Amino acid sequence: MKRIAESTVRRLSLYLGFLEDINRRGTTTVSSEELAKLGGTTSAQVRKDLSLFGSFGKRGLGYSVTELLERLRRIMGLERRWRVCIIGAGKIGAALAQYEGFSQRGFDVVAVYDSNPARVGEALGDLHVRDVAFFERDAESEKFDIAVLAIPARGAQKMAERVARAGIAAILNFVPGQLTAPPKVAMRTVNMAMELEALSFALTNRD
């Protein structure tokens, strides 16, 4: 299959959210035009995005909501649940550990680690913070799919490499600083400072 652009994946995820809403409302059919309007894009864009994976619609009618939901879930790999561990139990890590949005979307946070002895043992929702020294041992037995990195920049690269060596192929990166994804590891970065700076730029350079 040909390479799918990041922007496309983003939109697929959006469409999936819309379809879930639409489905809850009981509507059974949806057109590319309706999805486009919800997502602030064009109907041609929606059709192009979907056509990369096959041809799911009916001319003259649109798409079956349940079928498209099913197809998109399969495309996105969301038919199964994913096991997530969080590394770093500071403010951000702790908030993420207790964020219900993850499990609603199919991601189960099954472990939280920290290197600070003062935090180890602390309860976060159902979980207790574990010593990161046990990370490799646990990764072996608990088969984490995704690691969320919520630690300071110092030492983060080393930790990312430990994650990769432990066989985890995906990282969600909240580290405030430069981090290079180890080879073969999919990484998505959320950098709050960068987002704020983009707003600063927009406020400064608007006409």
Partner DNA sequence: TGGAGCTTGTGAAATCATTCACAAACTTAT
Partner DNA sequence: ATAAGTTTGTGAATGATTTCACAAGCTCCA
Q: Where does this chain bind its own copies (CB under 8 A)?
A: 1, 4, 6, 9-10, 12-14, 16-18, 21, 38-40, 75-78, 82, 84, 91-92, 94-96, 98-99, 101-102, 104-107, 145-146, 169-172, 176-178, 180, 186, 188, 190, 192-206
Nearest to 50 by CA among 84, 80, 101, 15: 15
Say which entry of its own copies, DNA, none residue 56 contacts (CB below 5 to 8 A, set by partner kind).
DNA
Label the pairing between strands 63-64 and 82-87: unpaired
Structure token pair of residue 134: 């046990």
Within residues 26-85, the interface with DNA by CB under 7 A covers: 31-33, 41-45, 47-48, 50-51, 55-63
Say which entry of its own copies, DNA, none residue 45 contacts (CB below 5 to 8 A, set by partner kind).
DNA
Which is closer to its own copies, CB of 3 or CB of 59? Answer: 3
Which is closer to DNA, CB of 48 or CB of 128? Answer: 48
Which is closer to its own copies, CB of 61 or CB of 107? Answer: 107
Structure token pair of residue 125: 């929702």
**The tokens 């690269």 sit on which residue?**
157
Which is closer to DNA, CB of 153 or CB of 199? Answer: 199
Say which entry of DNA, its own copies, none residue 68 contacts (CB below 5 to 8 A, set by partner kind).
none
What does DSSP assign to residue 4? P
Structure token pair of residue 19: 């379809």
Q: Is 135 in the site for DNA (CB under 7 A)?
A: no
Nearest to 84 by CA among 110, 105, 114: 110
8 A C-beta contact, residue 84 and residue 148: yes
Q: Is 180 in the site for DNA (CB under 7 A)?
A: no
Long-range contacts of 165-172 (CB under 8 A, 24+ apart): 165/136, 166/135, 166/136, 166/139, 166/140, 167/139, 168/85, 168/139, 168/144, 169/145, 170/145, 170/146, 171/146, 171/147, 172/146, 172/147, 172/148
Say which entry of DNA, its own copies, none residue 95 contacts (CB below 5 to 8 A, set by partner kind).
its own copies
Residues in contact with DNA by the rule CB under 7 A: 5-8, 31-33, 41-45, 47-48, 50-51, 55-63
